[in-house]
Amino acid sequence: MAKADTYPVMNGIIQGVESKERWFPGDPLPWTTQICHGITCNIVIDYKRCLKIPEFETKPDDVFIVTYPKSGTTWMQQIVKCIRTKGHPETVDEHLEDIFPWFEAMPQKDMEDRPSPRIYKSHSPYYMAAKGKSEATRCKYIHVIRHPKDVCVSLFHHMKGFWDYEFNGEFPEFVDLFLGGKVESGCWFDFVRTWYECAASKDERVLYVRYEDMKQKPREVIQQVADFLELPIDEAIIDLTIEKSSFAKMQKDNHANMSWRKEEFRANAEPFMRKGTVGDWKNHFSDEEQNKHFNEIFTEKLAGTKVESLYDLN
C-alpha cells in the first residue's frame, strides 16, 4: 500500500494519484480510487485535468447535467434527449454516453471540439464545475438531487457491480464509507450543499430538480426542463417523453441502459438500471443505530439549508 505522503499536496490536501490504489489520506479504503481536490474519485478521472476544469471556456449555450452519482443522471439525460428529438429519441442512433459525455473523464480537447450546443454530464461539486472565464460565457446546469439514503443504496449496488471498483464489502460497511465521504464523488452532503448554495443566490442558470418529482409529477418537470433549455414542447411531446423515459422503456433501450458497457460488469452483478424506485432505502437500513447516525449527520451537515427541508429521513 502506498503511503499518503508519497502523493502531491496542495493547501494541505492530497491532490491525486496516478496509479490504481485503495487509499484515503491516513485510512486505506476497500475499493480502488484516486483523490482530486480532496475528493475520492472514480479511477477513470484524469485528476490533473480536473484541477483545471473551473478554467474551461464554456459557452452560453453549453448545458451540464450535474448530479452526485446514482441520483438520476441517466434518466435526466434521456428526458433531455426526448425533448431535443420532439419525443423520438430512437431517431438518434447514439448511446447516451456519446450524446452526453462524462466531462471529468474526457480529454479537454475532445470537450472543446464538440459542436454547439454542447451538452455534458458531470459529477463535480459546484466549486469544481466548469464556469467559463466571464459572465458572458457562463453556461447552464441542470442539477438533480435524490434522497440520500436511496443514493447510498443505489451507489452500493453500483460499486459492487463494476469490476474496476474492486469493492467486496457489505452494506453496513458501505454506509459508514458513504457517511464519511469515502465513496465515489466524496461526501454527498457537501456535494449537494455546494449546489444549493447557488439556489440561495437565485442563480437563474441553475435548474434544480428532485428525483422524486421526476417520479411523482413528470409533466411538470419535463415542462420545466424544456423551458430552461428554451426548447419548444407541447402536450404530445410531453406524453412521448414520459413514455420513452420511463424505467420500463429505458431498461430495454440499448441506447440508454448502459448495455454497451457489459464487459465492465462483474458476473452476477445487478443491472445498471436496477430498480429506479423511491424509498427502496427502507429495505436496506435495518440497523437502527446506523440509521439514527445517518439522520444525525444529515442534520449536522445541512442544518439551515434548503436541502434539510427536502427529505423525510424516517
Q: What CATH topology corresponds to 54-309? A: Rossmann fold (3.40.50)
The tens digit of pLDDT for each residue in 49-67 reads 777 888 888 999 999 999 9
pLDDT of residue 2: 30
Nearest Cα residue to 58 out of 139, 128, 119, 125:
139
- Is the pLDDT at 7 greater than 50? The verdict is no
- Is the pLDDT at 177 greater than 90? The verdict is yes
Domain boundaries in the chain?
Answer: 54-309
Task: Tell me the pTM.
Answer: 0.86
* pLDDT level of residue 270 (50, 70, 90 thresholds): low
The tens digit of pLDDT for each residue in 110-125 reads 888 999 999 999 999 9
pLDDT of residue 26: 47
* pLDDT level of residue 12 (50, 70, 90 thresholds): very low
The tens digit of pLDDT for each residue in 90-113 reads 888 788 888 999 998 888 888 889
Q: What is the mean pLDDT of residues 24-38?
A: 69
Q: Which of 37, 88, 95, 123 is catalytic?
A: 123
* pLDDT level of residue 272 (50, 70, 90 thresholds): low
Concerning whether 123 is annotated as a catalytic residue, the answer is yes
Percent of the chain residues topping a pLDDT of 90:
49
* pLDDT level of residue 299 (50, 70, 90 thresholds): very high
The tens digit of pLDDT for each residue in 163-172 reads 677 788 899 9
* pLDDT level of residue 15 (50, 70, 90 thresholds): very low
- Is the pLDDT at 192 greater than 60? The verdict is yes
The tens digit of pLDDT for each residue in 200-259 reads 677 889 999 999 999 999 999 999 999 999 999 999 999 999 999 998 888 888 777 665
Three cell numbers, residue 3: 503511503
SS (H, E, C) the chain: CCCHHHCCEECCEECCCCCCECCCCCCCCCCCEEEECCEEECCCCCHHHHCCHHHCCCCCCCEEEEECCCCCHHHHHHHHHHHHCCCCHHHCCCCHHHHCCEHHHCCHHHHHCCCCCCEEEECCCHHHCCCCCCHHHCCEEEEEECCHHHHHHHHHHHHHHEHHHCCCCCHHHHHHHHHCCCCCCCCHHHHHHHHHHHHHCCCCCEEEEEHHHHHHCHHHHHHHHHHHHCCCCCHHHHHHHHHHCCHHHHHHCCCCCCHHHHHHECCCCCCCCCCCCCCHHHHCCCCHHHHHHHHHHHHHHHCCCHHHHCCCCC
Q: Compute the mean pLDDT over every residue in the chain, rounded to the nearest whole number.
A: 83
Q: What is the mean pLDDT of residues 57-79?
A: 95
Q: What is the mean pLDDT of residues 267-288?
A: 76
